[in-house]
Amino acid sequence: MSGVNPNAKSYNVLPGPVMGVVTADYLENLARVIRKHQIPLVKLTSAQRFAIAGHAPEALAEIWRDLGRTEAPAKPVGIHYIQACPGVQWCKFGRQDSLALGEKLGAALLALPLPAKTKVGISGCPMNCCECYVRDLGIYGKKNGWTLVFGGNGGGVPRLADVIAEGLADDEVIALAERCLRYFAANARNMERTGRLMRRTDLAAFKAAVL
Ligand code: SF4
């Protein structure tokens, strides 16, 4: 794709799609905006969203308008994103409905203020395509319900999340996720990710506080 301003180093993550689910309308509108503004790089991020890069910075307000927004999306104060796999409805290995849980979890917890970027992965079975063990909050399905893991990180100092509880129903796993995040909010230092918090936290004490 040829670009307007390849040296601009602009990089913006687009609003939506939520959990990587797109519609024909979304894609058609996005394609129209890409062509109109000659955006040189369009990329799927690891968070199952689209990023656009390399456009002229001064074109940004019009790009947001063309995408149906009056202004750039605000940076989230808590959960950065929720990834979810297709789950039991769409994948033959699925044990639980990860997309449906992702919607419920988002409705319940996206507005919760948190001390640092918080990534959530939800997988429909233990194959864990959404990499729950390296997410701040991970939830994956088994035949008997959801397993919740907490404190994972896939960054420069990786950490596998700790299993907090298993065999949970939808409402139970959302309630437990909220208690884990509230513990995080109350005990983490400013900008401290869950992995660092859990490194200096006794797991038994954490479980006693949230279970
Ligand atoms: S985690 Fe399981 S249900 Fe989800 S996409 Fe992977 S194999 Fe399918």
Task: Render pLDDT for 24-39 as a digit per residue (tens, 0 to 9).
Answer: 999 999 999 999 999 9
What's the pLDDT at 6?
Answer: 53
Domain coverage including residue 104: 79-210
Q: How far is the CA of 38 from the centre of ligand 1 (A)?
A: 36
Tokens 């864990």, residue located: 128
Q: How sure is the predictor about 7, in pLDDT bands with cuts at 50, 70 and 90?
A: low
Let me know whether 85 and 187 are in one domain.
Answer: yes
More confident residue, 192 or 5: 192
**pLDDT per position as a tens digit, 55-96:** 888 888 899 999 888 777 777 778 999 999 999 999 999 999
Ligand 1 lining (C-beta closer than 6 Å) = 85-87, 91, 93-94, 123-125, 127-129
What's the pLDDT at 1?
Answer: 44
Q: How far is the CA of 176 from the centre of ligand 1 (A)?
A: 22
Q: How high is the mean pLDDT of the chain? A: 92
Substitution site in 83, 91, 142 for ligand 1 pocket (most atoms within 8 Å of beta carbon):
91
3-state secondary structure of 82: strand
Total domains in the fold of the chain: 2
Let me know whether 23 and 123 are in one domain.
Answer: no
Closest atom of ligand 1 relative to the 91 alpha carbon: 8
Let me know whether 56 and 118 are in one domain.
Answer: no
Sort residue 83 into left (φ over 0), alpha (ψ -120 to 50) or beta.
beta
Indicate whether 144 belongs to any domain: yes
What's the pLDDT at 2?
Answer: 45
Q: How far is the CA of 96 from the centre of ligand 1 (A)?
A: 9
- How many Å apart are CA 55 and CA 58, to the nearest integer? 8
Indicate whether 72 belongs to any domain: no
- How many Å apart are CA 100 and CA 97, to the nearest integer? 6
Give yes or no for a contact between 67 and 35, defined as CB atoms under 8 angstroms apart: no
Indicate whether 133 belongs to any domain: yes
Range with the lowest mean pLDDT among 41-45, 99-103, 105-109, 149-153? 41-45
Q: What's phi and psi for 196, nearest 5 deg?
A: -65, -45
**pLDDT per position as a tens digit, 85-142:** 999 999 999 999 999 999 999 999 999 999 999 999 999 999 999 999 999 999 999 9
